[in-house]
Chains A and B, each alone.
Chain A
Amino acid sequence: MLIKKPADTLPSEITAPDVYRDRRRFLQTAALALGGMALPDWAAAGERLANVGKSRYDAAGEKLTPLKDISSYNNFYEFGTDKFSPAQTAGSLRTRPWSVAVEGEVRHPKTYAIEDLLKLAPLEERIYRLRCVEGWSMVVPWVGFPLSEVIKRADPTGNAKYVEFTTLYDPRQMPGQRDRVLDWPYVEGLRLDEAMHPLAILAVGLYGEVLPNQNGAPIRLVVPWKYGFKSIKSIVRIRLVENQPLSSWMKANPHEYAFYSNVNPAVDHPRWSQAKERRIGEFFKRPTLPFNGYGDQVAKLYTGMDLRKYF
């Protein structure tokens, strides 16, 4: 009787490790998603946020940009460099569990669970204009609380002059980080007095609902008088520092992006004009306002500074 020796596994039949790991990740995600359904405090995008107060800082009379546009036209390079990718791929970001470390030149460093941050201060709605450095703008009803609430509790030392923010780094959750378009993780910064300004907020929602992932869930910065890229998304670290932080865009192109990046129609981007902007949903361009229209509140932060030099 002839007993055939079974053929060895051909190299082509072996599942490549990355495919194998993808499968494992798929199962993990599936398990998480199933588990999530059972959890009562699973904060899904679009879930209603409770006890949101109205703010005195409202862009009165301006028409809100529809939620559909705010959540489908995003610059969030961690999920791809075009505007449409983040809405399609940001589902892979897990926003629970999530923690934010507040550290550096502070007397009371602390790592907050996101649930505790949400209870840190009363949530309020802030309707702000958002002006992107690319020349388009929106009006967004954010939900959040002043950034100063977090900084005050940390009690900065005398050395603290700036605040440095860092986004999550995890290429498995943020596929765009597999391409070295920017030097990941994304880093942004503010001067301490800018960060303490009442207009600067940490946002956790928009339109009264939990922030969609593509808009920077679970927690992001919103600094309405600066170009949009300053408002860093999906923050994991807030660090008080002595020296001016080097932001991701400064690192990527120091000639085109500087630290302050205040909205300024008089200072063009080296490659395009900043004099006008297209409000999403409008046909005609509208003139861009100095400090994005928040000059009355923030211009005093920059008295005596040459804003052409410190653009």
Chain B
Amino acid sequence: MSKTQVWIAWLKALLFVACLFPLGRLLWFAYADRLGANPIEFITRSTGTWTLVFLLLSLSVTPLRQLLGQAQLIKFRRMIGLYAFFYACLHFTTYFWLDQFFDWPAIVKDIIKRPFITVGMASFLLMTPLALTSTNAMIRRLGGRNWQRLHRLVYAVGVGGVLHYLWLVKKDLTQPLIYGAVLTVLLGYRIWVLWRKHPWRSKRAMSAGTVRLQ
């Protein structure tokens, strides 16, 4: 292994542990009785928030690596994306199990009647194929171009995630609007790049992983 590869391996290990922090925090709070008066609400909120954070982090990899000229950043994107899915799974498990306790009629009614749950559920479903096709073997099977096309679904997931948050809040929109602003910047950057017909935007360059600074 080259020196860079060793570095990346270490950083990946570090990132893997760091991404477990939100879960560790929840477990510690549960143990130390610090989840507050309504622990289920706390867990639901926390796992949902972290899903959104990891989603936005994964969406910021491409802009960052282009703006900073750090092509290696791509090596961390898959892990961040999978962590987004991991926290989304915890979020949904909390809803099905702790919150609704598998009351399927109530859950179905919720999904149909409540726009914020409809959009949340849809976003989760859209994330699933992305997680399933995240392995090297699947990328090979699909081919880079198809894989990339499929994975553009993450933009819809990001929009869905922010709407889900925006629509559930009773009054104070500050937090969801912050996430919405970050998402707007991240997606806006891509539109801007497209609009400028940037050479990086060419699919060949991206799938080959060759990124040149302008």
Contacts and interface: CB of A to CB of B under 8 A. Distances in A.
Do A and B actually bind?
A: yes
Contacts of A72: 36-37
B203 interface: no
Interface stretch (B63-71, B142-150, B168-176): B168-176
B172 A73 contact: no
Interface in B134-184: 167-168, 170-172, 174
A107 interface: no
Interface string A245-288: 00000001100000000000000100111011010110111000
B16 interface: no
A271 B40 contact: no
B30 interface: no
A83 B170 CA distance: 13
Contacts of B36: 72-73, 83-84
B75 interface: no
B108 to A, nearest CB: 12
Interface-central residue, B37, B98, B109, B114, by most chain A CB under 10 Å: B37
Contacts of B101: 284-285
29 contacts: A68-B37, A69-B37, A72-B36, A72-B37, A73-B36, A73-B38, A77-B171, A83-B38, A136-B41, A179-B174, A181-B172, A252-B171, A253-B171, A268-B113, A271-B114, A271-B115, A271-B116, A271-B167, A271-B168, A272-B114, A273-B106, A273-B109, A273-B113, A275-B106, A278-B38, A280-B37, A281-B37, A283-B98, A284-B101
Secondary structure type dominating chain A contacts: loop
B97 to A, nearest CB: 11
A81 B172 contact: yes
Interface of B: 36-38, 40-41, 98, 100-101, 106, 109-110, 113-116, 167-168, 170-172, 174
Q: How large is the interface on A (under 10, 10 to 19, 20 to 34, 35 or more residues)?
A: 20 to 34
A140 to B, nearest CB: 12
A134 interface: yes
Contacts of A268: 113
A182 B106 contact: no
Interface-central residue, B98, B116, B171, by most chain A CB under 10 Å: B171
Contacts of A68: 37
A84 B39 CA distance: 13
A284 B98 CA distance: 8
Given A136-B41, A271-B168, 13 more contacts: A65-B37, A68-B37, A73-B37, A77-B171, A84-B36, A136-B38, A252-B171, A273-B106, A273-B110, A275-B106, A278-B40, A280-B38, A283-B40
A284 B97 CA distance: 10
A207 B114 CA distance: 38
Contacts of B114: 271-273
Closest 3 CB pairs of A and B: A73-B37, A69-B37, A81-B172
Contacts of B106: 273, 275-276
B115 A81 contact: no
Interface string A92-121: 000000000000000000000000000000
B174 to A, nearest CB: 8
A228 B38 CA distance: 16
Contact of B170 (A69, A134, A136): A134
Nearest to A252: B171
Contacts of B170: 134
Interface string A35-77: 0000000000000000000000000000001001100110001
B188 to A, nearest CB: 27
A136 B170 CA distance: 14
Nearest to B41: A136
A273 B109 CA distance: 9
